[in-house]
């Protein structure tokens, strides 16, 4: 193996092993995720044989988290979060507090400092948005009521962890051995205030300015008709906004990428951006799970089996019970409580980030990192089994008398709010499809264009109007645009002949294609509405669609023959 190319060797070996072990996992009726994690264990530093570059693997995994969180944002709008706020915000904060307390109790029991125990509890309190998203997609549950609540719940958790990540260094300094006599609660006010200001500024810019700038930029790219350039623009936005938000506002890459996706989800380019980014998301997601397996030391299962079992029980069973209990106490039914229990019964990417920061600040003991990774690896592996168990016990609990009918009023209101959001989204999508269908029906010349090509054409159209008697084109003028009539009619006067054109017809194309000046006068004979396409856009679009160019050329040839007759 040539170790002079660690990036290539790390990617190549990761993909090959991930494929082989995921295929075997599928044959054993296990999720492919198990194969990806085991591939990381095989090429990690704790097993013999080839050892991949952990630093490079970690950075590649970070790209995977960015792209996956970008995908979450594309499928989740601010309206969704507002709709589920009644359960997501209090539920997430309550479970974080309870699990942190339970994890901290374990740490104190093992002799750790209080600060280290609290950080350890926080690592166990936040579930994996990335893993949950994959699990919901595999179960086709992302668009269900429970699925949308789960995503909103985990978004709240992630935002809470961003605050924890910023506050941890000053808190660690106050709790450390070098803490001065002036250290105390007042000294935290400045970092807390700055954090809230930065996060608030970032969210305001993302949700207020982003929807105006980002769709406009993508529209300019889409007008070029280049699929490669559009894909590149989507990746540039996801990675660029994630990095920029981290550098300028101090938020995590994942949160920056999430809000980049949220901004795009509200535009007409959301579905197209999602489709273009899926292959990259899938590829880097594999590297993320491989990197998780790489930092796992299997020896901890032998050295501290009871500690691993206790932490795993807290993550898989304790969090599930707490999540279900809190959901029920908030007044929601079993049909929401049990899916939430399954969704939260694992930890993931933010646990690793928080654990690494805890190690850097000297708050978290070394053995805590291995326990967190072991719990993450095992809880991810057991995740599908938890879903199966939840599916089996849900009918029994729903039929249990004390829970029968519990929370139906809250559920009805929640579904009504989510249905309003869904109808609004579907209305926007239907309007976009209607535009495409209208263009194809109104202008038969575009009948052979596919859906994407017609959408690209819509981006090139500019509306224009004319009153009866208005001179639309004048003979001898320079050709600047082609005109497509959507309503009304015009009279074309050329070579001593007069022709009336109506809806579905077009004019002005001959001079655009030849480069000559206008050879006809065109006058509106009633109120007209047009779609105009500039010369540059018209010629470029025809060059990308040769069959349309042939049809236009045939029509131009017929019109020239009529003018000569």
The span from the CA of 160 to the CA of 350, in Å, is 11
Does the pLDDT value for residue 176 go beyond 60? Answer: no
Closest CA to 418 of 81, 151, 73, 70: 81
Average pLDDT, integer, range 268-294? 78
Higher pLDDT: 486 or 75? It is 486
Check residue 189 and give its pLDDT: 67
Check residue 125 and give its pLDDT: 92
pLDDT, the chain, mean? 82
Q: What is the pLDDT of residues 20-54, one digit of tens each?
A: 998 998 887 777 777 888 898 899 888 888 888 87
Q: What is the pLDDT of residues 313-360, one digit of tens each?
A: 999 999 999 999 999 999 888 888 888 898 888 887 778 778 877 887
Average pLDDT, integer, range 176-198? 60
Strands 481-487 and 462-466: unpaired
Average pLDDT, integer, range 305-316? 93
The span from the CA of 471 to the CA of 529, in Å, is 14
CB–CB of 351/376 below 8 Å? yes
The span from the CA of 507 to the CA of 114, in Å, is 78
Residue 183 is given by DSSP the state: -
The span from the CA of 481 to the CA of 223, in Å, is 16
Closest CA to 376 of 323, 311, 324: 311
CB–CB of 488/526 below 8 Å? yes
Q: At what angle are helices 253-265 and 54-74 packed, to 10 degrees?
A: 30
The span from the CA of 260 to the CA of 269, in Å, is 13
The count of other CB atoms within 10 Å of the CB of residue 425 is 16
- Measuring CA to CA, how many Å separate 481 from each of 37, 76, 238, 286, 509? 57, 40, 35, 49, 8
Give the residue extent of every domain in the chain: 54-175+183-409, 443-564
Let me know if the fold of 54-175+183-409 is the same as that of 443-564. no
Closest CA to 382 of 203, 153, 131: 131
- Measuring CA to CA, how many Å separate 118 from each of 177, 321, 423? 17, 21, 43
Task: Measure the CA angle with vertex 395, ends 391 and 400; round to 5°.
Answer: 135
For the ranges 33-47, 186-200, 329-343, 437-451, the lowest mean pLDDT is seen at 186-200
For the ranges 182-186, 296-300, 558-562, the lowest mean pLDDT is seen at 182-186
Q: At what angle are helices 129-138 and 270-294 packed, to 10 degrees?
A: 120
Task: Measure the CA angle with vertex 391, ends 389 and 395; round to 5°.
Answer: 115
Residue 478 is given by DSSP the state: P
Check residue 178 and give its pLDDT: 47
Check residue 45 and give its pLDDT: 86
Q: What is the pLDDT of residues 497-543, one digit of tens each?
A: 888 999 988 898 888 888 788 888 999 998 999 989 988 888 888 88
CB–CB of 121/97 below 8 Å? no
Q: What is the pLDDT of residues 358-394, one digit of tens each?
A: 887 888 887 888 898 888 888 887 888 888 888 888 7
Burial class of residue 254, CB neighbours in 10 A (0-12, 13-18, 19+): buried
**Domain 54-175+183-409 top-level CATH class:** mainly alpha
The span from the CA of 113 to the CA of 118, in Å, is 9
CB–CB of 364/120 below 8 Å? yes
Check residue 457 and give its pLDDT: 82
Percent of the chain with pLDDT over 70: 90
DSSP letters of 111-176? Answer: T--HHHHHHHHHHHH---HHHHHHHHHHTT-TTSHHHHHHHHHHHHHHHHHHHHHHHHHHHHHHHS
The count of other CB atoms within 10 Å of the CB of residue 2 is 7
Check residue 173 and give its pLDDT: 67
Percent of the chain with pLDDT over 90: 17
Does the pLDDT value for residue 179 go beyond 50? Answer: no
Does the pLDDT value for residue 174 go beyond 70? Answer: no
- Measuring CA to CA, how many Å separate 470 from each of 328, 442, 475, 507? 69, 23, 14, 15
**Residue 185: pLDDT band with limits 50, 70, 90:** low
Check residue 21 and give its pLDDT: 92
CB–CB of 285/61 below 8 Å? no
Check residue 344 and give its pLDDT: 87
- Please name the fold of domain 443-564: Jelly Rolls (2.60.120)
Strands 462-466 and 528-534: antiparallel
Does the pLDDT value for residue 555 go beyond 50? Answer: yes
Does the pLDDT value for residue 18 go beyond 60? Answer: yes
CB–CB of 257/243 below 8 Å? no
Check residue 323 and give its pLDDT: 92
């Amino acid at each position: 193996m040539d170790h002079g190319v660690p990036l290539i060797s790390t990617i190549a070996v990761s993909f090959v092993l991930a494929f082989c072990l995921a295929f075997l996992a599928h044959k054993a009726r296990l999720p492919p995720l198990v194969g990806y994690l085991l591939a990381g264990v095989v090429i990690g530093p704790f097993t013999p044989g080839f050892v991949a570059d952990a630093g490079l693997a970690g950075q590649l995994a970070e790209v995977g988290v960015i792209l996956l969180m970008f995908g979450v944002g594309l499928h989740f709008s601010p309206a969704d979060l507002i709709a589920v706020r009644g359960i997501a915000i209090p539920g997430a904060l309550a479970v974080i507090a309870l699990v942190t307390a339970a994890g901290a109790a374990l740490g104190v029991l093992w002799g750790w400092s209080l600060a280290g125990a609290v950080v350890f509890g926080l690592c166990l309190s936040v579930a994996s948005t990335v893993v949950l998203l994959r699990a919901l997609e595999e179960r086709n549950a992302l668009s269900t009521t429970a699925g949308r609540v789960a995503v909103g719940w985990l978004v709240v958790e992630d935002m809470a962890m961003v605050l924890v990540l910023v506050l941890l260094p000053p808190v660690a300094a106050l709790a450390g051995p070098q803490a001065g006599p002036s250290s105390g609660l007042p000294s935290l006010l400045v970092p807390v205030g700055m954090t809230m200001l930065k996060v608030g500024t970032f969210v305001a810019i993302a949700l207020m300015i982003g929807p105006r700038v980002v769709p406009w930029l993508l529209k300019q790219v889409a007008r070029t008709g280049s699929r490669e350039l559009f894909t590149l623009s989507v990746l540039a936005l996801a990675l660029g906004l994630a990095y920029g938000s981290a550098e300028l506002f101090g938020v995590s890459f994942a949160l920056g990428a999430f809000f980049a996706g949220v901004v795009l989800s509200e535009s007409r380019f959301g579905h197209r951006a999602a489709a273009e980014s899926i292959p990259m998301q899938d590829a880097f997601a594999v590297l993320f799970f491989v990197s998780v397996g790489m930092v796992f030391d299997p020896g901890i299962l032998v050295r501290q089996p009871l500690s691993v079992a206790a932490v795993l029980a807290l993550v898989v069973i304790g969090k599930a019970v707490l999540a279900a209990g809190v959901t029920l106490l908030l007044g929601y039914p079993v049909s929401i409580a049990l899916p939430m229990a399954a969704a939260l019964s694992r930890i993931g990417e933010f646990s690793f980030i928080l654990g690494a920061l805890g190690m850097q600040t000297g708050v978290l003991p070394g053995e805590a990192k291995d326990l967190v990774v072991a719990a993450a690896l095992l809880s991810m592996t057991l995740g599908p089994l938890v879903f199966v168990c939840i599916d089996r016990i849900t009918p029994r609990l729903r039929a249990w008398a004390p829970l029968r009918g519990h929370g139906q009023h809250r559920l009805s209101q929640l579904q009504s709010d989510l249905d309003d959001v869904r109808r609004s989204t579907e209305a926007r999508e239907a309007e976009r499809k209607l535009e495409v269908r209208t263009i194809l029906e109104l202008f038969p010349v575009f009948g052979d264009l596919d859906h994407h090509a017609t959408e690209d054409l819509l981006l090139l159209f500019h509306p224009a109007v004319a009153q009866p008697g208005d001179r639309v084109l004048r003979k001898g003028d320079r050709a600047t645009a082609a005109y497509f009539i959507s309503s009304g009619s015009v009279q074309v006067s050329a070579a001593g002949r007069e022709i009336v054109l109506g809806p579905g017809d077009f004019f002005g194309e001959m001079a655009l294609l030849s480069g000559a000046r206008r050879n006809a006068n065109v006058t509106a004979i009633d109120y007209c509405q047009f779609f105009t396409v500039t010369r540059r856009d018209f010629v470029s679009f025809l060059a990308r669609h040769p069959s349309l160019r042939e049809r236009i050329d045939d029509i131009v040839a017929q019109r020239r023959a009529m003018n000569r007759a």
